[in-house]
Amino acid sequence: MFFKVLKKNLNTIKENLCVHGRVKFDQNGAALAWSASGFTINFKGRIAVFSFCELSNIDTSVIIRIKADGVNSKYSISNGKENIIIDFEKDGAHSIELLRISFSSGALYVKNVAIYGGNPEIQKAQKDYRLKMEFLGDSITCGYGLYGVEERYVSFEEDATKTYAYLTAKHFNAEARLLGWSGTGISCSCSGQTSNNFDRFFTRELPTSDNNSWDFSVWQPDVLVINGGTNDCGGGASKDDYKAAAKNLYALARKVYPNARIVFCLGAMGNAYHNQLNELCREINTTDTNVYYKRLSSICDNRDLYVGANGHPSFIGQQRTAAELIEFLEKII
């Protein structure tokens, strides 16, 4: 077969992509920074080659999951000089979903895609969802250490597609957006810092800078799940400070998402603020009945089964949290 090559910058074909999560497009391509962010591309051809911009602001490898015509594989991007090459061994119509599944605050730019085939063509990709769900959280939402068993962190033991958030959205056939940042909290971080709380990065297109505001009008979820409190406890937040910060976060969320069901949840890695969240939601319900609180079971119930690396939920622990959240959401959606 005589091959032709169609090479495109991702920014120039963004209208043909099905975008997953908050993704920034510019001359460098598609910036993937959030967990489970990425895109689906449909095309005619045989081979697809993805290239990246060199990494300069990430101190650990980024793990990418590729689903090629329904078959999953994972790749580690350590410096951005790598290429991902998918050869279907047959010229025809194909679909590739590319997701970033490990989190670090820096963005990975997918710059170009090259399609090789007899007459390569990029086609419109789209998916039909029942709902839209957004999850705001910390390392639990990122999937930190869910494959791990040791007291360490390595990016290949993290997988956003195995988290309670992704699994819950999948159950409801919902478009999922995961906004998680390890170590952060509603009122303070695990080290007691307040400069990067949920309400700060919630408003950003990319995690790291305040100078890239997200336009909330372009995407409105049916459900917003807020899962935070573990790091607040570790950072020494008082119960009053936590409740006040949660109230402010609710006010922000309701301002930008006037019609969403807002669900606070807590408990997988500690439930120090259970009473505060329960009280807050009851107070809010006097004027807003679309706000809820779900107390989650602790992974310490069975550490051998539910705990992964560094005291975080294992994959099985994430599955249990998903099952509890799904059961709760079934009653309110």
Q: Matching CATH topology for 4-123 and 131-330?
A: no
277 vs 58, residue with greater confidence: 277
Mean pLDDT of the chain: 96
The fold for domain 4-123 equals Jelly Rolls (2.60.120)
Question: Rounded to an integer, what distance in angstroms lies between the CA atom of residue 69 and that of residue 97?
Answer: 8
201-217: average pLDDT:
91
Beta carbons of 228 and 271 less than 8 angstroms apart: no
**Reported confidence tier of residue 60, pLDDT bands at 50, 70, 90:** confident
User: pLDDT tens, 82-131?
Assistant: 999 999 999 999 999 999 999 987 899 999 999 999 999 999 999 999 99
The fold for domain 131-330 equals Rossmann fold (3.40.50)
C-alpha distances (whole Å) from 289 to each of 60, 232, 293 are 43, 26, 11
Question: Rounded to an integer, what distance in angstroms lies between the CA atom of residue 233 and that of residue 273?
Answer: 8
User: pLDDT tens, 128-187?
Assistant: 999 999 999 999 999 999 999 888 788 889 999 999 999 999 999 999 999 999 999 999
C-alpha distances (whole Å) from 64 to each of 39, 98, 245 are 12, 7, 34
Q: So where are the chain's domains? A: 4-123, 131-330
**Reported confidence tier of residue 231, pLDDT bands at 50, 70, 90:** very high
List, in sequence order, every residue forming a beta bridge with 259; answer none if it has no partner: none
Question: Rounded to an integer, what distance in angstroms lies between the CA atom of residue 215 and that of residue 312?
Answer: 32
Count of Cβ atoms closer than 10 Å to residue 132 Cβ: 18
The 3-class secondary structure across the chain, one letter per residue, is CCCEEEEEEHHHHHHHCEEECCCEEECCEEEECCCCEEEEEEEEEEEEEEEECCCCCCCCCEEEEEEECCEEEEEEECCCCCEEEEEEEEEEEEEEEEEECCCCCCCEEEEEEEEEECCCEEECCCCCCCEEEEEEECHHHHCCCCCCCCCCCCHHHCCHHHCHHHHHHHHCCEEEEEEECCCCCCCCCCCCCCCCCHHHHCCECCCCCCCCECCHHHCCCCEEEEECCHHHHHCCCCHHHHHHHHHHHHHHHHHHCCCCEEEEEEECCECCCHHHHHHHHHHHCCCCCCEEEEECCCHHHHHHHHECHHHCECHHHHHHHHHHHHHHHHCCC
pLDDT at position 211 is 78
